[in-house]
Structure 1
Amino acid sequence: MSDPDGAVPSLDDEDGVMAAYRLHGAEVYRFVLRGLDDPASAQDVTQETFVKAWRHADRFDPEVASLRVWLFGIARNTMIDHVRARRARPWQGALADPPTVEAAAGSVSDHADAVLDGWLVEEGLRRLAPHHREALVQTHLLGRPYDEVAAELSIPVGTLRSRVFYAMRALRAAMDEMGVSL
């Protein structure tokens, strides 16, 4: 994602980080809040996400992944670090309701992984040719039968199967470029 002018904010300075926060801060916060189910911790993790993005701005490569995907990766890792730190400091358990802490620990690895995986697949699908993306979405993601999709697209079933095959190959290559293993 980029700002309305189409430029990706530079994270090298305070203005760039603020622009990135305006673009993605609320979305990152909601993601973290769903994972931790604790507004105060979600605020801390969101803030730490943008601090880490600023400190490691040199690692961001818009050719590999969008700023949004990169920030969500940082947020996911920061959530995991947050939960691990809580587990390493049992005395902090007295400061929070233990069932809430345990529930948050389980939800980070389960829910956060699923959400991040969804965004990564979405980013990979954006990199496919439209006819490949449509074939893959219709058959694999929506689970529609090949003959039904082929009839709707007015192409032979064999052509659809070929498109799905090459779409999967292109998706694997796109995910490899983004540093994601399938």
Structure 2
Amino acid sequence: MDEHDSEVFVRSLYEQAAPALYAFIYRFTRDRALAEDVLQEVFVRAWRRAGHLEPRSDALRRWLFAATRNHLIDVWRARTKLSVTTYCEQVAAAPHVVDDVDRIVQRRVLTDAIDELTPKHRDVLMERYFQCRSIAETARRLGVSSGTVKSRTYHALRALRVLLDEGGIATR
């Protein structure tokens, strides 16, 4: 991708994603100027990686939120370079902010990954893990054999693991 294509790509990406990213950033910073700075840095990173990013893909959205989260953590760390005592007090109080960001990003990546599964794989995981049904109950509800439920569960979990790894969530 040449420089002109990169600029067009990032401009289009900015128009589509900036409002959601800004709201996400502002929710954690409560500082308009800082939120704008973080947003700008994320799009500079996107511009630098434009040749490696897939336009209009779910992976691109996950990458944007992961890059935003990482930059927010960097900003938070830079702001907490204080004395050891003050730093320890802030670490004890602040993980909720970082955890909230992680949890939101992970929930979004998980939701997107589940949506990308085939309907058969999604259905078996929903029955087994979200409805807490046994293999026999799942087989009965889906109208398939127990062996099919086991096989689909195995393959669905493998596919989900790949999607989560692509989304930046460690699965091992």
Give TM-score, length-normalised by structure 2.
0.74
Residue 145 of structure 1 is matched in structure 2 by: 133
Give the drift of 1:132.
0.7
- Contact kept, 8 Å, 2:139 with 2:145, in 1: the verdict is yes
Residue-pair matches, total: 163
Residue 6 of structure 2 is matched in structure 1 by: 12
Q: Distance in 1 between matches of 2:20 and 2:91?
A: 24
Percent of aligned positions that are identical: 36
- Contact kept, 8 Å, 1:36 with 1:107, in 2: the verdict is no
Query: Considering only aligned residues, what root-mean-square deviation do their CA atoms show, in Å?
Result: 3.3
Determine which structure has the larger helix proportion and give its number.
Answer: 2
Q: Distance in 2 between matches of 1:150 and 1:136?
A: 12
- Contact kept, 8 Å, 2:117 with 2:156, in 1: the verdict is yes
Q: Distance in 2 between matches of 1:38 and 1:11?
A: 32
- Contact kept, 8 Å, 1:135 with 1:160, in 2: the verdict is yes
1:114 aligns with 2:107: no
Q: Distance in 1 between matches of 2:131 and 2:166?
A: 26
Indicate how the Cα distance of structure 1 residues 17 and 89 shifts in structure 2: closer, same or farther if over 3 A, else same.
farther
1:30 aligns with 2:19: no
Indicate how the Cα distance of structure 1 residues 143 and 42 shifts in structure 2: closer, same or farther if over 3 A, else same.
farther
Residue 42 of structure 2 is matched in structure 1 by: 49
- Contact kept, 8 Å, 1:36 with 1:105, in 2: the verdict is no
1:78 aligns with 2:71: yes
Give the drift of 1:172.
2.0
Q: Distance in 2 between matches of 1:108 and 1:76?
A: 11
Q: Distance in 1 between matches of 2:104 and 2:114?
A: 15
- Contact kept, 8 Å, 2:128 with 2:138, in 1: the verdict is yes
Residue 164 of structure 2 is matched in structure 1 by: 175
